[in-house]
Amino acid sequence: MLARGLSHSARFSHSSKKRFNFTTRVRASHSTMALNYPRPIEINPSGPHTSTFIMLHGLGDTGDGWSDIGYMYKASLPGTKFIFPHAPRRPITLNFGMSMPGWYDIASLEDIQGGEDGAGLRESQRYVEELIQREIAAGIPSTKIVIGGFSQGGAVALMMLRSSIQLGGVVALSAYVPLHKEQPLVSEANSKTPIFMCHGDADQTVAFEFGRRSYQMLLSLDANVEFQTYLGMAHSACQREFDDVLAFVKPILV
């Protein structure tokens, strides 16, 4: 059973959602178990493909939980392809060691940046870079690719700032900078990459303070980062936040 208060998902409903059974298999460097990556959900652009938005879900969720933003944004971003990956199932310490979809292991919500699963985070970064390289191979400039994520997915999105691939932008919802003691947090390639962080001040899962401190950390590095607070919002998402994300990504992706 999922530990109480652990669900890091923002759920929507859409009748056209479907899952794929194609899997990519990799061997985790820190474990003897193989990580299986189900094929991501993809929503193709309504016009010529000129940009890509990759959105990563939170712990215990799947790409289905966020795929509706592709339909929500489609009219405003007609040339954008939306990709919603599914995290592999892995044992989660916080969930009493039981397996569930997760981008990395996590042991505590109280000390979310203590004892982090560096190997899991770096593996997730590698996988997202693989998705990015596929888009580049399809003719999309890396500067027309935005990586977004919620909760755990947002932490992985912020990990992508370390990549040698120059990104168009990074969106982190209810998240924090992982492995913050490992430098550099931002690569030279992404020193000017626009970053949009959003957090509810009533979040009791990924504490608002973690998000605020992460923003200040990036700001101290002269990163191109913006932080938006949503009063009274818990560990979830709201329509105003979706509107703000669209306003942020549209100049990058169009």
CATH number at 65 reads: 3.40.50.1820
The domain tally of the chain equals 1
Q: Please check whether residue 110 lies inside any domain of the structure.
A: no
Crossing angle for the helix pair 152-159 and 118-137, to the nearest 10 degrees: 70
Q: Please check whether residue 107 lies inside any domain of the structure.
A: no
Cβ–Cβ under 8 Å, residues 253 and 80: yes
Distance CA 29, CA 120 (A): 8
Question: pLDDT tens digits, the chain, 254 residues: what are they?
Answer: 223 233 344 433 232 333 323 233 333 334 436 899 999 999 999 999 999 999 999 999 999 999 999 999 999 999 999 999 999 999 999 999 999 999 999 998 887 767 899 999 999 999 999 999 999 999 999 999 999 999 999 999 999 999 999 999 999 999 999 999 999 999 999 999 999 999 999 999 999 999 999 999 999 999 999 999 999 999 999 999 999 999 999 999 99
Q: Please check whether residue 73 lies inside any domain of the structure.
A: yes
Q: Please check whether residue 124 lies inside any domain of the structure.
A: yes
What six digits make up the tokens of 37? 């990556």
Distance CA 3, CA 133 (A): 36
The single-letter DSSP state of residue 166 is P
Q: Please check whether residue 105 lies inside any domain of the structure.
A: no
- Domain of residue 184, residue span: 41-87+118-253
CA distances (Å), origin 239, targets 19, 136, 212: 25, 31, 21
For strands 169-173 and 195-200, give the pairing: parallel
List, by residue number, the catalytic residues. Answer: 151, 203, 235
Query: Phi/psi at 213 (nearest 5 deg)?
Result: -65, -35
